[in-house]
Amino acid sequence: MSDHRAQPTQDGPRMDQNETDDAAKAEGIIAQTAQDLPGQPDDIVKEALSQRFEQSNVAATDEELDGHTEEVGKRANGE
């Protein structure tokens, strides 16, 4: 006779195994942008940051984006 016990199934979406909070996501976005856009004008960096934050579903105010833009510039210059 075969064993007919029901095997567990996944009926809903899988939870992210390594959930990342918004601060960690923001740090990653800033670090990657500094690598991707070294020496670019602030307006280009800020636009890229804005798009990346939006795509990552991380909220950022205009003032926060200004600060992140400054941070990208510092990192791109090795500061």
In the Cβ-directed half-sphere of 23, how many Cα atoms lie within 13 Å? Answer: 0
Spatial distance between the Cα atoms of 46 and 48, rounded to a whole number of angstroms: 5
> Where is 42: in which H helix or E strand?
helix 42-55
Angle separating helix axes 62-76 and 22-36, nearest 10 degrees: 50
Spatial distance between the Cα atoms of 72 and 69, rounded to a whole number of angstroms: 5
| pTM, full prediction | 0.73
Residues 47-70: pLDDT tens digits? 999 999 999 999 999 999 999 999
Residues 1-11: pLDDT tens digits? 555 666 656 55
Q: Please give the mean pLDDT across all residues of the chain.
A: 85
